[in-house]
Amino acid sequence: MVKFELIGFDSFQEYFDGFFDCLKSTNHTFSYFVDWNKIQRKAEKYEDEIMLLQVLSKKKKDERKQKLHNLIKKHPKITKVIPLIIAVRDYNMKIMDERTLEITSYSFNGPDKSNIMEIVDFCDKTGIIDLFDQIDSLYDYIFGLEVGLDSNARKNRSGKIFEEIIENVLEQELDKAGNYSYKKQTTIKKIDSDKKFDFIIKENGEPVVAIEANFYSSTGSKPIEIARSYTDLHKNLKKQNLTLIWITDGDAWKKMKNPLKNSMKELDYILNLELLQNNLVNILQKDPEIQTKQRSFKT
């Protein structure tokens, strides 16, 4: 059962209610929305090729196809920019003709001058040729598209941001606790096929606590499965004299109380961000298992 007394509560029920009372409604920081550095790198990667294609905006519509043909022939690497213009990540595409139902393959992998006519035809039929009537700067246009495409990465970024928030808490609190340090993404040998943990806390260089972290803003089967799996992980770590702290947060848990309650009855520590910040030092300094047991495993 959760060691509620070391987390500042007088009973399990008080801990249970308190956990749900201080869940965070979001973990979105300002860096959640757009990864500007990544977008800048993507746009600058083909800056020269983009500038070469920019010349099409200065040509009359009936001259652009021939100019594009000449550009590809002389600078075949500019073909890598073409998928970016239509917000596609794939450099190999198959297109069906809606009338003949025939399928044509297009490659935009760079120095292949044998398919120039096909690529020019692709640009014509997808509207890229006409696009240069509508935009002043191809670079700015692609930069804007990358901002839109980057929204697809927000789900993965959310998990990373949650880990960064926890890391900030660890940096602040471990200084108060004594001779403790931490490592990110560290593998413990012989634990669940050499499982990699989000964080490992070490005392005088020896691992004492393994941390897993996740934030849930929506319900589903995944958080429930995670809750169940950590029960077995907790038992395996106990055999190695290592303590598991599961840090989880998010409003979604308010609709999944029962599976989390079952895990709370099995694990020593299930903390949200607020409970972590307020009680980590106390846990490290007063949990007798963390303080006294000898460890015999490697990282």
Domain residue spans of the chain: 4-32+154-292, 36-152
Residues 258-270: tens digit of each pLDDT: 999 999 999 999 9
The whole-angstrom separation of Cα 61 and Cα 132 is 8
Across 44-60, average pLDDT: 94
Q: What is the DSSP string of 76-108?
A: GGGGGGHHHHTT---SEEEEE-TTT--EEEEE-
Q: Cβ-count burial of 296 within 10 angstroms (0-12 exposed, 13-18 middle, 19+ buried)? A: exposed
> What pTM was estimated for this model as a whole?
0.76
pLDDT band, residue 192 (cuts 50/70/90):
low
The whole-angstrom separation of Cα 21 and Cα 80 is 52
CATH topology of domain 4-32+154-292: Trna Endonuclease; Chain: A, domain 1 (3.40.1350)
| pLDDT at 298 (0 to 100) | 52
In this structure, what token pair is assigned to residue 230?
């950590």
The DSSP secondary-structure symbol of 271 reads E
Residues 63-120: tens digit of each pLDDT: 999 999 999 999 999 999 999 999 998 999 999 988 999 999 999 987 677 789 999 9
The DSSP secondary-structure symbol of 38 reads H
